[in-house]
């Protein structure tokens, strides 16, 4: 009897310890915790973690926050089920919007410069997902700072936005490894009032380059290219006139759906 009681006591202690350990585990690193419907109640997640969430009702908005671990670029990537449209918004620690966009396919990425130790907020809203989950991935990426030539082009991904800055006389170059022979939308937007930018799109195969399209834009510009399978595409962006140093813009590349 004494051994039986001792075993019960040990079992109880182990059970309590397990529950305490589970309570201390940051479950929000893998799945959202309701009620995370405001910045004040935002779930804490980490760089290089994948978080799963669900828009459980039509007016649901999920908020997350994380602390940047580097001075560089963070890629925030959202994946949703086919046919759902959701809005991904990035904010700074004051709640000021950095960028907001709606997915056009199952993936949407926003890439932007971060400061180490700074807190950033993410919100997801839109079509409710009663039976499906979305995911958020946060990844450290190479800085935009050195993408000033074809040889040092910044590798871009389809269905992604890139929030960069440029100075007069500078050139920013992005590289898309494969467009799969699809119709692809290249766009530049969020150009400061009065400024003028130039966007050139080049196709490359076997080391040779061909100018495919050139766009001059004062507020935004876009072009759809019927890409060729097996080709790499480079996008060159220059500031032409009325540009403060540095001057912001947003570059995006998407499947034209």
Residue 27 DSSP one-character state: G
Q: Whole-angstrom Cα distance, residue 238 to residue 71? A: 24
The answer on 149 and 91 residing in a single domain is no
Specify if 10 maps to a domain: no
Specify if 188 maps to a domain: yes
CATH value at residue 202: 2.60.120.510
Specify if 159 maps to a domain: yes
The answer on 206 and 134 residing in a single domain is no
The answer on 219 and 198 residing in a single domain is yes
Q: Enumerate residues 6+ apart whose C-beta is below 8 A from 1.
A: none
The answer on 137 and 32 residing in a single domain is yes
pLDDT of residue 83: 85
Q: Whole-angstrom Cα distance, residue 43 to residue 162? A: 25
pLDDT of residue 29: 53
Specify if 11 maps to a domain: no
Half-sphere exposure of 97 (CA within 13 A, CB side): 7
The answer on 173 and 126 residing in a single domain is no
Cβ proximity of 253 and 160 under 8 Å: yes
């034209």: which residue's tokens?
Answer: 256
Cβ proximity of 187 and 255 under 8 Å: no
Residue at a domain's end among 141, 167, 186: 141
Structural element, H or E, at residue 73: strand 72-79
pLDDT of residue 64: 96
Q: Whole-angstrom Cα distance, residue 126 to residue 42? A: 17
pLDDT of residue 102: 95
Per-residue pLDDT of the chain (257 residues; tens, 9 = 90+): 444 343 434 444 333 343 333 333 343 457 888 889 999 999 999 999 899 998 888 889 999 999 999 999 999 999 998 888 999 999 999 999 999 999 988 999 999 999 999 999 999 998 877 778 899 999 999 899 889 999 999 999 999 999 999 988 899 999 999 888 899 999 999 999 889 999 999 999 988 999 999 999 999 999 999 999 999 999 999 999 888 888 999 999 999 97
Specify if 105 maps to a domain: yes
Q: How many domains does the chain have?
A: 2
CA angle 113, 116, 117 (to 5 degrees): 130
- Residue 137 backbone dihedrals phi, psi, to 5 degrees: -120, 135
The answer on 194 and 118 residing in a single domain is no
Q: Whole-angstrom Cα distance, residue 100 to residue 130? A: 23
Whether a cis peptide bond, with omega within 30° of 0, leads into 4 is no
Specify if 20 maps to a domain: no
Q: Which residues constitute the domain of residue 88?
A: 27-141
């Amino acid at each position: 009897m004494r051994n039986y009681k001792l075993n019960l006591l040990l079992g109880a202690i182990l059970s309590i310890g397990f529950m305490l350990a589970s309570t201390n585990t940051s479950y929000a690193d893998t799945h959202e915790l309701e009620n995370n419907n405001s910045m004040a109640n935002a779930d804490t997640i980490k760089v290089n973690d994948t978080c799963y969430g669900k828009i459980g009702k039509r007016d649901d908005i999920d908020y997350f926050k994380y602390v940047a671990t580097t001075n560089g670029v963070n890629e925030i990537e959202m994946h949703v089920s086919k046919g759902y449209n959701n809005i991904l918004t990035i904010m700074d620690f004051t709640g000021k919007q950095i960028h907001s966009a709606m997915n056009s396919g199952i993936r949407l990425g926003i890439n932007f410069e971060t400061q180490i130790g700074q807190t950033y907020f993410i919100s997801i809203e839109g079509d409710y997902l009663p039976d499906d989950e979305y995911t958020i991935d946060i990844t450290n990426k190479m800085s935009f700072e050195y993408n000033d030539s074809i040889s040092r082009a910044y590798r871009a991904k389809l269905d992604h936005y890139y929030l960069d800055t440029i100075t007069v006389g500078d050139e920013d170059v992005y590289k898309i490894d494969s467009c799969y022979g699809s119709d692809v939308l290249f766009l530049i937007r969020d150009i400061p009032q009065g400024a003028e930018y130039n966007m050139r799109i080049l196709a490359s195969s076997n080391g040779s380059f061909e100018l495919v399209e050139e766009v001059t834009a004062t507020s935004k510009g876009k072009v759809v290219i019927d890409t060729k399978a097996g080709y790499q595409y480079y996008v060159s962006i220059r500031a032409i006139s009325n540009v403060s140093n540095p001057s912001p813009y947003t570059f995006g590349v998407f499947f034209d759906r």
